[in-house]
Amino acid sequence: MGVVFAKTTSGQDEIANRNGGLSPRVRRVLILVDGRKTVTDLREVVAADDLTHTLGALEELGLIEVRKKISAIGASHEPAGPLPSITAFRELPAAHQSKELDMARNFMINTLKNFCSLYGPISLMSNINAASSHEALRELYPEWYRLIVDSRSGRRRAEDLRKDLLKVL
């Protein structure tokens, strides 16, 4: 299944006026979002290993929105209401899941150790270790993902790592 994004009014305004302070790479992705290309199509054009993260950031800034989903057989599905964000966390169960919290915490720390310099993310690793809830870990997620994407070896695996973490976070 493919997801198609389109620029919002704010996104079109950003293209015209450049008032959002976007980096050139993020701006390029915004320009390429046209309401027709799927994320897979964009991935073929953009050499960004963190395309999902970039699209999620643009979506959170209100510059793009999910327009439709396209099934594997090519049928287009225009939703009646808004679709969930591509960076949306799963809904947490009512009961506290300490096992999943420990799994998420360990995953984040181990990936930082493997893909980043040992001394760079020490404060983030301390914050992750001290996080007492899923909500606290979710607040640390953007910084974790940025560090993974900024590392050469992590950049290649960023999408898979993000998906694995979101299963327990």
In a domain, 51, yes or no: yes
Q: Report CA-CA distances (Å) from 110 to 8, 93, 115, 137.
A: 38, 25, 9, 14
Considering the domain boundaries, does residue 111 fall inside one? yes
Do 23 and 66 belong to one domain? yes
The more confident residue out of 74 and 67 is 67
Domain annotation covers residue 117: yes
What is the predicted pLDDT for the residue at 71?
Answer: 57
pLDDT the model gives residue 93: 67
Range of the domain at 108: 98-168
In the predicted model, is pLDDT for residue 74 greater than 80?
A: no
Same domain (yes/no): 72, 121? no
Do 133 and 71 lie in one domain? The reply is no
Is this structure's pTM higher than 0.85? no
Residues 38, 148: Cα–Cα separation, whole Å:
25
- Residue 137 inside a domain? The answer is yes
Which of 30, 47, 77 marks a domain boundary?
A: 77
- Look at residue 110 and tell me if it is in a domain: yes
Same domain for 107 and 70, yes or no, is: no
Mean pLDDT of the chain: 81
Number of domains, the chain: 2
Q: What HEC string does 84-140 produce?
A: CCCCCCCCCCCCCCHHHHHHHHHHHHHHHHHHCCCCCCHHHHHHHHHCCCHHHHHHH
Residues 42 and 102 grouped into a single domain: no
Interval 41-72: pLDDT, tens: 888 888 666 787 788 888 878 899 888 776 55
pLDDT score for 106: 93
Three-class SS of residue 138? helix
One domain for residues 68 and 115: no
Return the ∠ at Cα 14 (arms to 11 and 16), rounded to 5°: 115
CATH number at residue 13: 1.10.10
Task: Please state, in angstroms and rounded to a whole number, the distance separating the CA atoms of residues 115 and 11.
Answer: 33
Greatest mean pLDDT among 13-17, 39-43, 158-162 lies in: 13-17
Which is more confident, 114 or 118?
A: 114
96 vs 52, residue with greater confidence: 52
Amino acid at 5: F
Same domain flag for 65 and 105 = no
